Chain A
Amino acid sequence: MTQLNINVHHVTRVEGHGNITVNAKDGKIEEITWEIPESPRFFEAMLRGLNYEDVTWLAPRICGICSVAHSTAAIQATEAAFGVQPSEQTMLLRKLLYHAETLQSHVLHFYFLAAPDFLGVGSVFPLINTHKEVVLRALRLKKLANDLADLLAGRKTHPTSCVVGGFVKFPETSQLGTMRQRLSEAMDDLKETVKLFKGLNVPDFIRPTEYIALKDPKEYAFISGDISSTDTGIAPITDYLEMTNEFCVPQSTAKFSRHARDSYMVGALARFNNNYSQLLPEAQKAAGELGLKAVCDNPYMISIAQIVESIHAVEDSLRLIDQIVARGLKEEKPEVKVRAGRGVGAVEAPRGILFHDYTYDDKGVLTEANCVIPTNQNHNNIQKDMESLVPSIINKTQDDITLMLEMLVRAYDPCISCSTHFLEVRFV
C-alpha cells in the first residue's frame, strides 16, 4: 500500500516561501497542507500616518515583481478617496505601463519559473548551454518590457514618475515610435513562445472552481471595471470585502479566501475565463493554437493563459501607442485637491485581482489601509486543488507526486512575499 511522506520545505522558483506537506499511510491520506512561512512586513501599520505622496511611494515596495500593480492600485485608491478623475491621456499611459509589467512578469514566470519543469532541469541557468536561443528570447522579451516601463515610469521596479493625478514625466513621441517598432518585432518572439509551449506536456487535471477577475465592458480589463465572478456575476469594486471574505483555517494560521464555493481562483486563467471574448485577435489565435478554451478548469493551464495574455498585452500596446501619438502627447500637470475620504483601487496584478483600500484625513494623511493580495485569494484554491489531485495520482511514485504538486504551486505563480506583506502564517 502506498506510503507517502512528502515535505517540500520552501518550494523553489516561486516568489517567497511556501511549504507542501503530504502524508499517507497504507494508501490512506492523512494530511495535505499548503503552508506559508513568510515573514510579515506590516505595511498596513507602516502606511498609517504618512501623507498620500509617501503612501503611493511606499506601496510599490510591497512587491518587487508587481510594483507597478501596487503603485497603480495605491494611486487609484487615493484618487478615489480625493475625488480625482484621471485624464484620458493618463489612462492610456497607465494601461501601456501596465502592459509592460504584465509582459515582464508573465515572461519571467513561464520561461524562468515554470518552463524548467517541462524541460527537466532545475532552473533556467543550465538552459543557457542546452537551449541558448530560448533563454535569449526570454531575456529579450523581459528587456523590452523593462525598457517600456522605464520609459513610461522612470523604472520598472518601484516606478518613480507615475503619481496621484497622472504622470510627472512624459516620453518623447520618437521614443514611443522606437518602442512601437520593438513591440511589433517582439510578436515573432511570442509566436516562437507559442510554438515551444505547444509542444510541452501540460498535466491534465480538472477541478471546476469559481473564477474572479475585473471586468470592463469596453476591453479586457486590467486597471478598470467591476468585479466579475463566473458564479455570481458583477459587483462594484467597493464591495470587495464581500467577495474576498478572508478567514482563518483551524489547522493553520493562514488567512484564506472563499466566496460562492469552497475556494476561488484569481489570475491569468480567471481573467481568461471571465473575459476571453475581449482578447485581441492574435491573442485569440494563440489561445486556439495552445488549446486554451473558456471555461478552462485545469490550473496547470495558468501558464498558458499567461502566454495568451502576453500576446494581448503587446497587441494592445501597439494600439495604445498609436492612440497616444494620434492624440498628441501633452505634458499635463497632475491636479490634486486633498480631501478627507475613503477610496478603493482595484487592478489585475499579473497574479490576479488586487485591492488597496485607503482612508485619508483632510490633510491627506492616511488613517487606515487595507490591501487584499491576489496570492492570498489563491491559497485556498491551491489547497483544494491538492486535496483533489493527490488521490487521483496516489499510485505514482513519491517523486512524481512531489513534482506534480510543485508544478501545481508554480502554475499559480504565487507571489508569497507579496501576499504575506499583510497576512502571516505561523511556522508549523
Chain B
Amino acid sequence: MKPRLGFFDFTGCEGCQLEVINFEIELVELLELVDIVNFREAMTEKGEDYEIAFIDGAITTESDISRIKEIREQAKIVVAMGACASLGGVNCLKNFRPMEENLKIVYGDCAGYYNTIPARPVSAVVPVEYELPGCPMNRYEFLKLAKALLLGKKFELPNYPVCVECKMVGNVCVFDKGGFCLGPVTRAGCSAICVTTGRHCWGCRGLVDDPNVNSEKEILQKHGLTVDDILNQFRIFNGYLEVSK
C-alpha cells in the first residue's frame, strides 16, 4: 500500500504548499508512489487516514493548538515545512509587542473581536520528526526528504553555515562589499540563493547547530557593526528564539 500523505496549512502564506505544486514532472512521479489524501489547497476529498503530515505555517491561535495536536495523534511522522512551521518565522515579529497592541494597530476599535496568541513553531506544541526550514522551503530539499522517507533512509539537514555554499558558488562576500549578512551563523541548504541573486542572508533557515558566535562578532567588529544590528536582522525570521527565552 502506498504511504498516505496529508498537507495542512496553519498561519502562513501557503508558499511552501505552493512549492510542492510547483514541481513539474517530479510531481507526477511522486504521485505514482504516494497517495495524497488531504490537501485542502488542491483537493476536495478530505481523508483522515494519513500517515505523514506536512505542516505549513506557524501556530498563532488557540484553535491552531488543538488542531495540530489532533494531527499529531493521527500521523506517524510530522514534517514542518518552511520557516513559519519550523522556526515560527516572520509571524514571531508580533511577539515583540503585547498582543493587545498588535490587535489595536491592525483592527482599531474592533480589536476586541479578535484573538491571537504569541506565534510559535510546530515543535513548541507537539514533537516533530523532520523540519524543512527556509522561506520558502527549498523544494528540492522536500524531494530529498520524500525520497528518504519512501526508501526508509536517513535524512539530515546540512550542519554548516550558508558561507560554505556561498564560497562554493563563488560569490563575493557581502561583508567585503560593505553589506551585512547572517550567512556565517545560518544553516546552509539553500545554495546561498539570496546572496547569489544579489542580496544578503536574512537567516530564514535558522541557526546552524553550535554557531560560531565569536567569529560572527569578530566579523561584525571588523566591519563596524554591532550586536544590535545582527539581532534586529535575526529576529525577522528567528524572533521566537529571542522572545521564548
Residues of A within 8 A of B (CB): 10, 12-17, 39-42, 44-46, 48, 50, 54, 57-58, 61-65, 67, 108, 112-113, 116, 122-125, 128, 135-136, 139-140, 142-143, 146, 153-158, 160-161, 163, 167-169, 248, 253, 255, 417-418, 421-424, 426-427
Contact = CB atoms under 8 A, between A and B. Distances in A.
B14 A16 contact: yes
Given A67-B15, A124-B42, A426-B114, A139 B202 contact: no
B189 to A, nearest CB: 15
A39 B42 contact: no
Contact of A168 (B12, B46, B199): B199
18 contacts: A12-B43, A13-B42, A39-B61, A40-B60, A46-B90, A50-B236, A58-B236, A64-B14, A125-B31, A128-B31, A135-B28, A136-B28, A139-B25, A140-B24, A153-B197, A160-B197, A168-B197, A168-B199
B102 A45 contact: yes
Residue with the highest number of chain B CB atoms closer than 10 Å, among A63, A64, A67 = A64
A10 B40 contact: yes
A65 B9 contact: no
Residue with the highest number of chain B CB atoms closer than 10 Å, among A10, A40, A122 = A40
A143 B44 contact: no
B114 A40 contact: yes
Contacts of A161: 197-199
Contacts of B61: 39
Nearest to B28: A128
A322 B197 CA distance: 24
A160 B199 contact: yes
Contact of B44 (A116, A139, A146, A421): A116
A157 to B, nearest CB: 5
Query: Which 3 pairs across A and B sit closest by C-beta, in order of nearness?
Result: A64-B15, A123-B43, A168-B198
Contacts of B94: 41-42, 45-46
B242 to A, nearest CB: 14
Contacts of B42: 13, 112-113, 123-125
A48 B187 CA distance: 27
A113 B197 CA distance: 32
Contact of A41 (B23, B60, B135, B196): B60
B113 A169 contact: no
Interface stretch (B68-76, B104-112, B120-128, B211-219): B104-112
Contact of B43 (A44, A46, A65, A125): A125
A12 B36 CA distance: 14
B48 to A, nearest CB: 14
B244 interface: no
Contacts of A422: 106
Contacts of A12: 40-41, 43-44, 46
A143 B24 contact: yes
A154 B196 CA distance: 8
Interface in B83-105: 89-91, 93-94, 97, 101-102, 105
B49 interface: no
A22 B236 CA distance: 42
Given A45-B102, A67-B13, A123-B45, A253 B113 contact: yes
A15 B14 contact: yes
B127 to A, nearest CB: 22
A42 B102 contact: yes
B198 A64 contact: no
B90 A58 contact: yes
Contacts of A46: 90-91, 93-94
A64 B31 contact: no
Residue with the highest number of chain B CB atoms closer than 10 Å, among A253, A255, A422 = A253
A333 to B, nearest CB: 11
Contact of A417 (B12, B27, B135): B12
Nearest to A122: B44
B193 A155 contact: yes
A257 to B, nearest CB: 15
